[in-house]
Structure 1
Amino acid sequence: MQESKGYGRMQILLHWAIAILIVANYFISDGMENAFDGMMKGAPVVFGWVPTFHVYAGVMVLILVALRLALRIVRPTAAANTGKPLLDKAAELGHYALYLLMIVAPALGALSWFGMIDVTASYHVLAVNVLLILALGHAAMSLFHQFVLRDGLMVRMIWSK
């Protein structure tokens, strides 16, 4: 199977949809935490828009990441080749870590919410925080590629040819 130099439209759409869902869920996480804490204390669960959106968005992240991984198998994209092996390896490992955390974080959240397991909620929060740190690093490195290395790498995830 031939590798493509850029990402296809669907891969780009999935990338940004997943990113938007993760960021949106982060900004409403306090409301979700309040709903979860109330549920764990035996209070009736009120399905306002925050817990409802948070749960559905988390499930959507899992589905979209699975679809994105399937697309990577069907339509592989050439890895970035900066000519700097250490930088290329760090990018590869960073992407693996991002994919892993985009599966683990929502899975732990679902286990916490539907299983009413308090300890997994703590691991969910930890996984989300690590995911966000890696995502910020990912964004910073794309800017590094664009403005320091000037290798056009960032364009691969903005539009498809």
Structure 2
Amino acid sequence: MSKTQPAAYSPVHILLHWAIAALIFFQLVFGESIKDLGRALRGDGTPDAMTAFMGNAHIWVGIAVLVLTVLRLIVRARFGVPAPIPASRVQELAARGGHGLLYLLMIFVPITGLLAWYGGIREAGELHELAKPLFIILIALHVAGALYHHFALKDRTMKRMITSRT
């Protein structure tokens, strides 16, 4: 694996970041649809078309989040990422910890969802549901941090995930 440190995030890094963000947003907004599908299948076994579509979309979007996250980690390991913009030790630790937890959830949540849905593991489903508020909190902190860097510190932290130009 390469230990290079590029000057900017590549278009692939940026595309993966925003694609995963959009998919997670979809899951947070429409994620309850999987419960509707589960109830319909346990009930009379025939969900209406919209319930079936949205429930299955939840499954496939979750799989996409998992696959794209793994791909993002591979790209990150293979091609590196730019050095962080200099900040206080506390900010660096917060950023590193927040990103680490987000990556962990982007892998853990889809896996627990799949184990619950296809494996019938109730505990996995409970963990899957418990992760939603944690995801929301971490995303809110991530966005707040990006906005703080952009508007208060006026550094290039946020711009680096919008354009690959240095």
Give the TM-score of the pair, scaled to structure 2: 0.89
Q: Is the 8 A contact 1:101 1:128 kept in 2?
A: no
Q: Determine the C-alpha separation between the residues in 2 that align with 1:17 and 1:73.
A: 19
Letter matched to residue 64 of structure 1: L
Letter matched to residue 83 of structure 1: A
How far residue 32 of structure 1 moved from its aligned partner, in angstroms, is 1.2
Q: In structure 1, what is the equivalent of residue 145 of structure 2?
A: 141
Q: In structure 1, what is the equivalent of residue 4 of structure 2?
A: 2
SS in structure 1 at match of 2:9: coil
Please list, as runs of the form range in 1=range in 2, the aligned pairs for 1:16-27 lying within 5 A after superposition.
16-27=18-29
Q: What value does the CA root-mean-square deviation take over the aligned residues?
A: 1.6
SS in structure 2 at match of 1:82: coil
How far residue 38 of structure 1 moved from its aligned partner, in angstroms, is 4.2
Q: Is the 8 A contact 1:4 1:78 kept in 2?
A: yes
How far residue 100 of structure 1 moved from its aligned partner, in angstroms, is 0.3
Letter matched to residue 150 of structure 1: K
How far residue 151 of structure 1 moved from its aligned partner, in angstroms, is 0.9
Please list, as runs of the form range in 1=range in 2, the aligned pairs for 1:47-126 lying within 5 A after superposition.
48-126=52-130
How far residue 45 of structure 1 moved from its aligned partner, in angstroms, is 6.0
Q: Determine the C-alpha separation between the residues in 1 that align with 2:106 and 2:160.
A: 21
How many matched pairs? 160
How far residue 44 of structure 1 moved from its aligned partner, in angstroms, is 1.9
Letter matched to residue 159 of structure 1: T
Q: In structure 2, what is the equivalent of residue 127 of structure 1?
A: 131
**1:11-66 per-position Cα deviation (integer Å, ceiling 9, x unaligned):** 10010110111111111122212222444x46526471111110000000010000
**1:104-152 per-position Cα deviation (integer Å, ceiling 9, x unaligned):** 0011011111112222211101113212210111011000000001111
